Chain A
């Protein structure tokens, strides 16, 4: 029969490991509370890439971001094959009527990895945007803007700086919130 106690070093290891376990569980617990859809973009606060792309349904007309300097630009990446784009279509139509009327806010659509015919059919079915759309057939512009998937919307202030970004479909509420972020950055 043995009654001796364990050497003190064992206790130290136990305590260290228990402390690390608690620390790790606390970190996991903190991570569980986070919204996985919110991925911080390093582009917020940085000047937007000044692109020049072909306008949808034209052969050589261009959309240049620099043409809209001095205006707030709402740039929405969309595609006819994107299901979530249908969800936010009505929101964009409403918002462009509300904010685009006085000319202070310019909306631009970026038709991503699509073809003109499919995009035109989509707009006929869902309702024409009262603003121009450019095309990004290979998705290179999307890479320039660090886009993850469709739809995504960038809010660029009058100085050409990206003030906010929406990953996924816009809602009236999220649109208002992003516009407030643009105003806050002025």
Chain B
């Protein structure tokens, strides 16, 4: 099987490239979302910390709330669709957040609290499943597809450049020796 530079091959190449980019999209979206969140948090913190700044309208997050948010963002709400308990306002999520706060006040570490929920709900409760067993595919696949997408974009651009260079070379050759053009036409007729 060989893919020549025909229209079909280009179509297949474009299709594969689109597939690679689509599959890698969640990875980039996640990165962008995380960055957005960090920027938003920093902006609020900067506004609150700026000398002479007006008092913040938003209630300042206490250290305990920060820790509850950090843990709550890592746990999936059991009755919601793909939402962390930090983002959810369901009864279960609220109760889970209260329990996390109580455990933190009692001096339990983040790892111990996450283990508490993991022991009872399994991997399902974790927003980011551990990279072990079959789960490693979820972690490696978007990176792999992102790389594949980049390789395809580079291949595509390089092949176009090579084609243009070859075409220019042949045109130059024909211009220098018009006989070549006649030979090409004769070959085609044969």
A-side interface residues toward B, CB under 8 Å?
1-2, 4-6, 9-11, 13-14, 16-18, 20-21, 24, 27, 39-43, 113, 138-140, 142-149
Contact = CB atoms under 8 A, between A and B. Distances in A.
Dominant secondary structure of chain B at its interface with chain A: helix
A40 B1 CA distance: 44
Nearest to B163: A2
B152 A13 contact: yes
B95 A17 contact: no
Interface of B: 1-5, 9, 12-13, 16, 19-20, 23, 78-79, 91-92, 95-96, 99, 118-122, 124, 137, 141, 144-145, 148, 151-152, 155, 159, 163, 166-167, 170, 184
Contacts of B184: 1
Most buried by A among B96, B121, B170, B184: B121
A139 B91 contact: yes
Contacts of B95: 138-140, 143
Given A13-B148, A24-B141, A40 B99 contact: no
A27 B23 CA distance: 14
B3 A146 contact: no
A11 B3 contact: yes
Given A11-B3, A24-B23, A42-B119, 18 more contacts: A2-B167, A5-B2, A6-B5, A6-B159, A9-B155, A10-B3, A17-B148, A20-B141, A21-B16, A24-B141, A41-B121, A42-B122, A43-B120, A113-B91, A143-B120, A145-B120, A146-B121, A149-B79
